[in-house]
Chains A and B, each alone.
Chain A
Amino acid sequence: MTSVAPVAAAPGGSTSKDSIPKGGAAGRPSVAAWLVAVPFLAFVGTFLVYPTVLVLLGAFQDSNGAFTLDNLTTLFKGVYFDSFVRSIELSALTALIGAIFGALLTWAISVGNPDGMLRRVVVAGSGVLAQFGGVPLAFAFLATVGFEGLVTKFLRDNVGIDLFAGSAWLFELPGLTLVYTFFQIPLMVIVFLPALDGLRPQWREANASLGGTSWTYWRHVGGPILTPPFLGALLLLFANAFSAYATAAALVSQGSPIVPLQIRGFLTGEVVLGQENLGKALGLGMVIVVSIAMGVNVLLQRRVAKWVR
């Protein structure tokens, strides 16, 4: 999960690795030196590593703790398999929408004044929606296009369109897709802005002085440079939507169309006897999908880092 945009060098250019002395100077650390790291390692070991291991191992255990692959094979059947398919569809679709509109919005603020108010407001607002949206986002959505929402009422009273004529789409997959764009587009802005800031004005000038047009600039310069960060951001958005829980949980109280809501079912007690560890298997499945997206992203950025310097 390194920066998605290696083209934007950090000011001062010092990354964490340059400034760390390679052992030597301080000599071999004594036992006392290692002790300083103990509180941190003990804490992270207890509250991060232990729960993670519990989930990953539990996925391979039956209710008596014996090894089994039943939990994992169940993932490929019926409702569980369907929920993975729907989760992946939802994440891919909203990642694509978020990436495209987010990239356009990023471009629109990147050509403006870098210290301007517009940019500050958009970046801060994006930060809020991308990371801290959660439950408030679900309520924002209800206030807007819920049964009694502002837009719903306006359309019903003044235009004669009933948003809910077809079905309660708001509380199903189409509704989730719509509300997810409210954190996917902002996340794209945050992730993609450093890449656009990395485009140097000189490149555009060079293109123009050699007789190039806007089209040739984007086709031969901007496009190729921005493609890897764009793809990286796309993967990150996918992982983000796939992991998201709060908004969906606040919106959908019945049924479990997507994996995180399936896991909620296991935690809140609708557990069938003998399937106690199925929730952990679902968790393992999620970790695998997210890790693949993140892993491909890291490989992608590593390749880019090689030839950008």
Chain B
Amino acid sequence: MGSLVKQRVLRTVILLILGVYFILPLIAMAEFSTRGKNNTRSLESWTAIVDDDGLMEALTNSLLLSVTSAVLMLVLLVPTMAWIRLRLPQLQRLVEFLCLLPLAIPAIVLVVGMAPLYAWVNYFLGDSPLTLTFAYTILVLPFAYRAVDAGLAAIDLKTLAEAARSLGASWFTVLWKVVVPNIRVALIGASLLSVALVLGEFTIASLLNFDTLQVQVNLLGKRNAGVSIAVSLLSLLFAFVLLFALSYVGQRRRQTVAEEEIPLGSN
């Protein structure tokens, strides 16, 4: 089987070359962030992460935002999408269009239109970084929509809802006790994706002058590259752990995960 051997060799060569290409920067980050004075090794940059108040505050902001955005996304999307499947199929196309629209509008363009809007938001709600929740919920819509849509398509929503209704359940009970438990895998997937996206977001936060993790990392890099590189490595690894965990969530949907995750992230 000459062609099988050839295939194996070619495969190994590709994996080796691209493997080195992608792992080298990670090694370089680990090396750079552990440099001490006079060619020694030191963990100064890593301990500095915890000591830097600005950084910790920004990290707290980002973590809070990742929770509030995921929650707002679920609260807005799940009842609406379930309701549309049950009672309002007329709205299906419009909602799909709106949810996927952020893919056609780069974040850098969206922020141009959001700047005047946020002047109002900050006037009414104060200038807490948590107001970014609104912008981030928009950013995660396409990813969340795909995940929730796949989850709802996989269950017989109509029958389940009718069964529950005929037993006297209110619409809220149907949503909370029937729909949500049945699509929890999709909801976890959507939430993990939005957490990862929010933790990595830079464009909107930096241009609306909010202090989030990536904004602080970028700022810090100007005076202390070591710390920024350490935090960058950490956040890449953290996102990796999230997505790696996602590959085990709902094994049977593995093939569709790639589809849901599709494109245009926070680069």
- A interface with B by C-beta (< 8 Å): 1, 3-5, 8, 10-12, 14-16, 19-23, 25-26, 29, 33-34, 36-37, 39-41, 43-44, 46-55, 58, 101, 104-105, 107-109, 111-112, 115, 118, 120-121, 123-125, 127-144, 146, 148-151, 182-183, 185-187, 190-191, 193-194, 197, 213-214, 236, 239-240, 242-247, 249-250, 253, 260, 263-264, 266-268, 279-280, 283, 286-287, 290-291, 294
B18 touches A105 (CB 8 A): yes
Residues in B lying within 8 Å of A, measured CB to CB: 3, 6-7, 10-11, 14-15, 18, 22, 24-29, 31-33, 76-77, 79-80, 83-92, 95-96, 98-117, 134-135, 137-138, 141-142, 149-150, 152-154, 157-158, 196-197, 199-203, 206-207, 214, 217-218, 221-222, 225, 228-229, 231-233, 235-236, 239-240, 243-244, 246-247, 252-256, 258-259, 261-267
- By a CB distance below 8 angstroms, the chain A residues around B201 are 134
Of A115, A124, A244, most B-chain CB atoms within 10 Å: A124
CA distance in complex: A267, B207 (Å) = 7
Chain B residue numbers with a CB within 8 Å of A266 are 112
Known: A108-B11, A132-B200. A29 touches B264 (CB 8 A): no
Q: Is the CB of B225 within 8 A of A131?
A: no
Asked if A47 and B114 sit within 8 Å, CB to CB, the answer is yes
Tell me whether A131 and B106 are in contact (CB under 8 A). no
- Which residues of the partner chain A approach B158 to less than 8 Å between Cβ atoms? 21, 25
Q: A155 to chain B: closest CB distance in Å?
A: 13
- A51 contacts B243, CB within 8 Å? no
CA distance A220 to B265 in the complex (A): 35
**B252 to A11, Cβ gap below 8 A?**
yes
- Is there an interface contact between B112 and A139, defined as CB atoms closer than 8 Å? no
- B7 cross-chain contacts in A, Cβ below 8 A: 111, 214
Nearest B residue to A40 via CB reads B80
Minimum C-beta distance from B263 to chain A (A): 5
Q: Are A140 and B232 in contact (CB under 8 A)?
A: yes
> In the assembly, what is the distance between CA of A33 and CA of B7, in Å?
58
A interface, over-half SS: helix
Are B113 and A29 in contact (CB-based, < 8 A)? no
- Shortest CB-to-CB span from B79 to chain A, Å, is 7
- Which of the residues A47, A108, A239, A286 comes within 8 Å of B138, measured between beta carbons? A47
Q: Are A40 and B76 in contact (CB under 8 A)?
A: yes
Q: A134-B214, A240-B263 are in contact. Are A120 and B244 (CB under 8 A)?
A: yes
Q: Nearest chain A CB to B167's CB is how many angstroms away?
A: 19
A37 B91 Cβ-Cβ under 8 A: yes
Nearest B residue to A233 via CB reads B263
Asked whether, in the complex, the Cβ of A139 is within 8 Å of the Cβ of B83, the reply is no
Contact A246–B266 (Cβ < 8 Å): yes
